[in-house]
Amino acid sequence: MNPIAVLQDMLFNVLQFYFSICGNYGVAIILLTVSVKLALYPLTLQSTQQMMAMQKIQPKIEEIKKKFKDNPQKFQSETMDLYKKNKINPIGGCLPMVLQIPFFLALFFALNSDKFKAIVSIHNVNTAFLWIGNLAAPDPTYILVVLIAVTTYYSQKVMSSSSPQMAGMLYFMPLFIAFVSAPFPAGVQLYWVVQNLLTMIQQMYILKKGGLKV
C-alpha cells in the first residue's frame, strides 16, 4: 500500500478528531500541525544541533579549502575527518525537513480528497476560518501566500549562515515557495504558515537553550 495514502487516511482521521472537539476545521488544522511538530521535535532538536555545529566549524572548513584548493581529494578527506572529529553528520540537518514532506503531501491530498469534499458539500459543514471563506479552496485574498513567504524567510533567517550562497537562498526560497503554494487549498496554506511559525519558535528555543544568540 502507498505510504502516503496510509498517512493521508491517518491525518484525515486525526483532523476529524480535532474537528469533533473544536468544531472548526481551521483550528483543527492548527492542532494537527502542532501535533506533527511535537512528534518531530526530537529530530528537529538533533537537526538544529547539527546545523549549529556546522556553523561553528565553518571557519576551519574555509581554512582547509584554502590550504588544499588545488587538491580536491585531500580537501574532501580533511573535511570528512573534521566532521568525524566533531561528530557531525553533514546531512543530519536536512532530516526533519525531508520527513515533513510526506506529512505535507498527505494533508494536501486529504484536503483534496473526495471524502473531504463530500463533508463540505453534502453535510454543509462550515469550512470558514477568520477571513477565509473555504479552507478547501485557495485563499482568494493571497494573505496566506504572503504569510508563507514572510514566515519562510524568518524561519530560514534564524539558522542562516553568512555564506553568499545561503544569503541568496534566503531571499529566493520564500518567493519560490509562495509562488508554488498560491493554488493550494487554504487549509494547506494555513498548515504551512503555522508550521513555519512553530519551526521558528522551536529553533529559537533550541538556540537559546544552547547559549547562542537568536
Residues 198, 201, 207, 209: what is their CA dihedral angle, to the nearest 10 degrees? -110
Residue 127 belongs to a domain: yes
Residue 189 belongs to a domain: yes
C-alpha cell at 160: 542562516
Residue 97 belongs to a domain: yes
Residue 153 belongs to a domain: yes
Residue 96 belongs to a domain: yes
Residue 21 belongs to a domain: yes
Residue 214 belongs to a domain: no
* Tens of pLDDT, residues 96-154: 667 777 877 787 777 777 777 677 665 556 677 888 877 877 888 999 999 998 888 88
Residue 90 phi/psi, 5-degree rounding, is -55, -30
Sign of CA dihedral 24, 5, 105, 114: negative
* Tens of pLDDT, residues 68-87: 777 777 777 877 777 777 77
Domain tally, the chain: 1
Residue 106: which domain range?
A: 3-209
pTM for the model: 0.72
